[in-house]
């Protein structure tokens, strides 16, 4: 493809995206493809001779779109959002065009320094403690996902707790134990599995049945029982917005228990953390001042194309101590000067994209005021959903709405709840997801798209009411 053809096809690709967005309202939100439907439309092998790029664009509508669940659809309310936005897409495109590897500062100083600056800005915008900023002992880094951030936090915690032994000789016989509520995201158990601790090293702590937040007395009892048995608490994982219901663990109380036993405190605010761009939506982060690490995903609710998970640590030495490795081919004068950050030491992988550009583009294009407006609109629409639930006797809220997430059910029972949700999802009108709370089925409706309006919420509610009628 010549540079001129690249320009032409590039314009066509952006046009395709804009047309795709414009068409979303009329498309079923959840893909109606059956297993194998997409694959059947693809040839068995790659073409021998090159084809015009237009042929690929044409196949997007024919092959890909019918096999998509439209995450950018204004009535996508399932899971948590994976928001994209025009600014983030253009930022990501530029990152691809630059095509630089930022594994070490020396391989592209701008990749590292823009990321440091943007994460310092973002930490300030969220009201995070100054200790997390890069001008002190801490700092931030963009990870691919919150799962990787939690894994990295656990490796840092093991490094600190073992006095560096873990990286040299492995886990030894300290009997490391990790704590999280029964509502902690599954990435915690996966992190323990990947770290070689095994899933049994994770203590699943009971939650308050009403708030679904970690039960502090149960946490304290579990930690103390383990210590009594000669086991070693290494990390307490706290949810600032659990996946199932958006439950908020008490960071102050749980942090105190963790610190009393020398355990690392990791705050997983993957979804809800970005709401802190609004000063009035920071209460759930009270106590983050004493956390050792914190993660939130702009790639969920904050308009930044996947993947962009922002992760901060109070003491970067624990993280880099766990993960640094310097083969001869990466030695360079800048690293040896000690004046630069080499992000390859901040996560499991070596190579890394220039992800900061898309977050930079989002922060600059929307400005903090624009981002606050986006978050506030999601919270307001969720409050509307909660009002609609309260106003219809057939439905009930399962938990109080949490920011932009509403969890509710049909009073008539689990079967009816699941049937109503499935009917809406199958109709293509909207897309919702489910969970179980205290053993009973519930519907999750998470608002988050920049394209969702009051009319979309009302239309979805009408579809749910019709489904409840049977």
Given the rule CB under 6 A, which of 11-19, 91-99, 112-120, 143-151 is the region that contacts ligand PLP?
143-151
Which of 161, 234, 239, 385 is in the footprint of ligand PLP by CB under 6 A? 239
Q: Does 243 bind ligand PLP (CB under 6 A)?
A: yes
SS3 letters across the chain? CCHHHHHHHHHHHHHHHHHHHHHHHHCCCCCCCCCCHHHHCCCCCCCCCCCCHHHHHHHHHHHHHHHCCCCCCCCECCCCCCCCCHHHHHHHHHHHHHCCCCCCHHHCHHHHHHHHHHHHHHHHHCCCCHHHCCCCCCEEEEECCHHHHHHHHHHHHHHHHCCCHHHHHCCCCCCEEEEEECCCCCHHHHHHHHCCCCHHHEEEECECCCCCCECHHHHHHHHHHHHHCCCEEEEEEEEECCCCCCCECCHHHHHHHHHHCCCEEEEECCCHHHHHHCHHHCHHHCCHHHCCEEEECHHHHCCCCCCCEEEEECCHHHHHHHHCCCCHHHCCHHHHHCCCCCHHHHCCCCCCCCCHHHHHHHHHHHHHHHHHHHHHHHHHHHHHHHHHHHHCCCEEECCCCECCEEEEEECCCHHHHHHHHHHHHHHCCCECEEEEECCEEEEEEECCCCCCCHHHHHHHHHHHHHHHHC
**Contacting residue, 114, 123, 146, 274, with ligand PLP by CB under 6 A:** 146
Q: Which of 107, 145, 162, 232 binds ligand PLP (CB under 6 A)?
A: 145
Closest listed residue to residue 320, CA positions, set 290, 340, 299, 296: 340
399 binds ligand PLP (CB under 6 A): no
Phi, psi of 84 (to 5 degrees): -110, 170
Measured between alpha carbons, how far is 344 from 326 in angstroms, rounded to an integer?
Answer: 10
Q: Which string of x and - marks every residue 157-196 that binds ligand PLP (by CB under 6 A)? A: ----------------------------x-x---------
**Which of 72, 116, 297, 377 lies at the binding interface for ligand PLP (CB under 6 A)?**
297
Residue 126 CA to residue 292 CA, distance in Å, equals: 16
Per CB under 6 A, 266 contacts ligand PLP: no
Pick the piece of the chain touching ligand PLP (CB under 6 A) from 13-21, 107-115, 142-150, 210-218.
142-150
Instruction: Considering only residues 332 through 361, tell me which ones interact with ligand PLP, judged by CB under 6 A.
Output: none
- Is there binding between residue 80 and ligand PLP (CB under 6 A)? yes
| Shortest CB 254 distance to ligand PLP, Å | 15
Task: State which of residues 85, 107, 134, 147 lies at the interface with ligand PLP (CB under 6 A).
Answer: 147
Interacting span for ligand PLP (CB under 6 A) from 145-153, 163-171, 218-226, 443-451 = 145-153
- Determine if 72 is a binding residue for ligand PLP (CB under 6 A): no
- Least Å from the CB of residue 80 to ligand PLP: 5
Quick check: 78 binds ligand PLP (CB under 6 A)?
A: no
Q: Is 112 in the site for ligand PLP (CB under 6 A)?
A: no
Nearest distance from C-beta of residue 347 to ligand PLP, angstroms:
13
Least separation, in Å, of the C-beta of 133 and ligand PLP? 23
Q: Which is nearer to ligand PLP, 139 or 298 (CB)?
A: 298
Nearest distance in Å: CB 84, ligand PLP: 15
Q: Find out whether 179 and 203 touch, Cβ atoms under 8 Å.
A: yes
- What is the smallest separation between the CB atom of 299 and ligand PLP, expressed in angstroms? 7
Residue number with CB closer to ligand PLP (359 or 410):
359
Please report how close the Cβ of residue 385 comes to ligand PLP at its closest, in angstroms: 19
- Kindly tell me which residue out of 120, 268, 292, 429 binds ligand PLP, with binding defined by CB under 6 A: 268
Closest CB 336 distance from ligand PLP, rounded Å: 34
Stretch of 154-162, 265-273, 350-358, 400-408 contacting ligand PLP, by CB under 6 A: 265-273
For ligand PLP, the binding residues (CB under 6 A) are 80, 145-147, 185, 187, 239, 241-243, 268, 270-271, 297, 309
């Amino acid at each position: 493809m010549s540079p001129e053809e690249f320009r032409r096809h590039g314009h066509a690709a952006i046009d395709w995206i804009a047309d795709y967005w414009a068409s979303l309202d009329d498309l079923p939100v959840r893909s109606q493809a059956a297993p194998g439907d997409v694959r059947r439309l693809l040839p068995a092998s790659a073409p021998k001779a090159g084809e015009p790029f237009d042929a690929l664009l044409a196949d997007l509508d024919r092959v890909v779109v019918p096999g998509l669940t439209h995450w950018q659809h204004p009535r996508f309310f399932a899971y948590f959002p994976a928001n994209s936005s025009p600014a983030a897409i253009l930022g990501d495109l530029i990152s691809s065009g630059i095509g630089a590897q930022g594994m070490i500062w020396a391989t592209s100083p701008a990749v590292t320094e823009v990321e440091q600056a943007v994460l310092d800005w973002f930490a300030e915008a969220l009201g995070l403690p100054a200790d997390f900023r890069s001008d002190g002992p801490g700092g931030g880094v963009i990870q691919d996902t919150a799962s990787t951030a939690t894994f990295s936090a656990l490796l840092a915690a093991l490094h600190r707790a073992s006095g560096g032994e873990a990286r040299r000789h492995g886990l030894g016989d300290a009997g490391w134990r990790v704590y999280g509520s029964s509502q902690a995201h599954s990435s915690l158990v996966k992190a323990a599995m990947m770290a070689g601790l095994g899933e049994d090293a994770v203590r699943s702590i009971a939650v308050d049945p009403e708030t679904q937040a970690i039960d502090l007395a149960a946490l304290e009892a579990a930690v103390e029982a383990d210590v009594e048995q000669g086991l070693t608490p290494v990390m307490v994982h706290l949810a600032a917005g659990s996946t199932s219901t958006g439950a908020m663990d008490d960071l102050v109380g749980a942090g105190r228990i963790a610190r009393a036993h020398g355990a690392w405190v990791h705050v997983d605010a993957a979804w809800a953390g970005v709401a802190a761009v609004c000063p009035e939506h920071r209460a759930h982060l009270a106590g983050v001042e004493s956390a050792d690490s914190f993660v939130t995903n702009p790639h969920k609710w904050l308009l930044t194309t996947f993947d962009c998970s922002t992760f901060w640590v109070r003491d970067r030495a624990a993280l880099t101590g766990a993960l640094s490795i310097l083969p001869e081919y990466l030695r360079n004068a800048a690293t040896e000067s000690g004046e630069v950050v080499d992000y390859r030491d901040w996560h499991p992988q070596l190579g890394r994209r220039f992800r900061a550009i898309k977050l930079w583009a989002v922060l600059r294009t929307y400005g903090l005021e624009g981002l606050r407006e986006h978050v506030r609109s999601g919270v307001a629409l969720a409050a509307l959903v909660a009002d609609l639930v309260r106003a219809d006797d057939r439905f009930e809220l399962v938990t109080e709405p949490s920011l932009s997430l509403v969890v509710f059910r049909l009073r008539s029972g689990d079967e009816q709840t699941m049937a109503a949700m499935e009917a809406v999802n199958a109709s293509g009108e909207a897309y919702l997801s489910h969970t179980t709370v205290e053993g009973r089925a519930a519907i999750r409706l998470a608002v988050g798209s920049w394209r969702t309006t009051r009319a979309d919420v009302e239309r979805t509610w009408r579809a749910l009411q019709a489904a409840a009628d049977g």
